[in-house]
Chains A and B, each alone.
Chain A
Amino acid sequence: MKDYLVLRVIAKMMIAFMLLFAFYVQFHGDFGPGGGFQAGVIAAAAIVFYAIIYGLPAARAVVPDRLVETMIALGVLLYAGVGVAGLLLGGNYLDYFVLHANPVEGQHRGIFWVEAGVLITVAGVMLKIFYMFAAKADNTEDGA
């Protein structure tokens, strides 16, 4: 796909908007449809799109494997960490209202970090699965 000029230019234009849309879905999830799951998938889709147009090595240079693997674990840890923070501040596990003097503000804070955790894990897993399949396909092509 590397030789198609139109695809390359359009992809370059669209990927910025796709990532921006992912963050819109993430941070606007309080007010409209959306949240960590959807935003994570959209962000991963932007990188997958980049990999399809510019090739897997280019995408791996932008989002290296090490970062993706760290994201997979980091998201779950962040989510669970919000729960532990609630415990340390004197509430139950995953109680958000203790995170701030104002309970409603605490809820906001808790939901924000929890959704961030979901985003990081989902985007990481989707990218990792795509990387693994794509790398495998490249290998078989070389081998054949």
Chain B
Amino acid sequence: MVLLAMLAVVTVAIALLRNLFAVVILGGVYSFLMATVLVALDAVDVAMTEASVGAGISTVLFLGALHLSKREEMKPLHKPLLPLLVVAATGAVLVYGTLGLPAFSDPDAPIHQHVAPRYIKDAPRETGVPNIVTAVLASYRGYDTLGETTVVFTAGIGVIALLRRVRRRKPGGGA
């Protein structure tokens, strides 16, 4: 609860601040708080990813991007009433949607009845890997992880395509 309150404070601060440097650093703070929340939920694998990708690499990349642009965010041209309305409505619909979900950590929830019992029962025997997260990620859901790796690959190729400086020959200067 304390963590969630801190998350809310950081989010409001990010929305209000105009100094982008502070926003980037607060983004890193947000990621570390989120990682702590995930540790509290016993999802250490996800927490580790959040801490290393969200707080580590993203912050460095944002700082790199910030170095190329201005420090201060521009004043918005329009009044934020319409976006605020849209966001509030979406949030309300999402909260309404959570009312239909099973209670938190309910063992009879469908997600705990579908394939999870099979993984928990058979994964150590079938794969010999004690960490079931790794077994699911790399073995049972190998296709998904291949897709994720391809997404990372595509992102890298996209950045190269966008940022690589093409040295065009000046017209008349060569062939």
Contacts and interface: CB of A to CB of B under 8 A. Distances in A.
Given A79-B146, A79-B149, A121-B152, A130 B64 contact: yes
B156 A128 contact: yes
Contacts of B23: none
Q: Which residue among B53, B149, B150, B159 has the maximum number of chain A CB atoms within 10 Å of its CB?
A: B149
B126 A107 contact: yes
B44 to A, nearest CB: 4
A142 to B, nearest CB: 13
Interface in B120-175: 125-131, 133-135, 137-139, 142-143, 145-146, 148-150, 152-153, 155-157, 159-160, 163-165
A14 B66 CA distance: 26
A32 B57 contact: no
B145 A114 contact: yes
Contacts, number: 144
A129 B130 contact: no
B72 interface: no
B128 A108 contact: yes
Interface in A82-126: 83, 94, 96, 103-105, 107-108, 110-111, 114-115, 117-118, 121-122, 124-126
Interface residues of B, number: 45
Interface size class of A (residues with CB under 8 A): 35 or more
A46 B67 CA distance: 21
A115 B48 contact: no
Contact of A35 (B128, B134, B157, B159): B134
Given A111-B134, A114-B142, A38 B159 contact: no
**Interface residue SS majority, chain B:** helix
A41 B57 contact: yes
B129 A107 contact: yes
**Interface residue SS majority, chain A:** helix
Given A41-B52, A121-B149, A132-B159, A107 B139 contact: yes
Interface of B: 44-45, 47-49, 52-53, 56-57, 60-61, 64-65, 67-68, 125-131, 133-135, 137-139, 142-143, 145-146, 148-150, 152-153, 155-157, 159-160, 163-165
Interface of A: 25, 29-35, 37-38, 41-42, 44-45, 48, 52, 69, 72-73, 75-76, 79-80, 83, 94, 96, 103-105, 107-108, 110-111, 114-115, 117-118, 121-122, 124-126, 128-130, 132-134, 136-137, 139-140
27 contacts: A29-B134, A30-B131, A31-B131, A34-B48, A38-B48, A38-B52, A41-B52, A42-B56, A44-B57, A45-B56, A72-B153, A72-B156, A75-B149, A76-B150, A94-B142, A103-B126, A104-B127, A110-B138, A110-B139, A118-B145, A118-B149, A125-B152, A125-B159, A129-B61, A129-B155, A130-B57, A140-B68
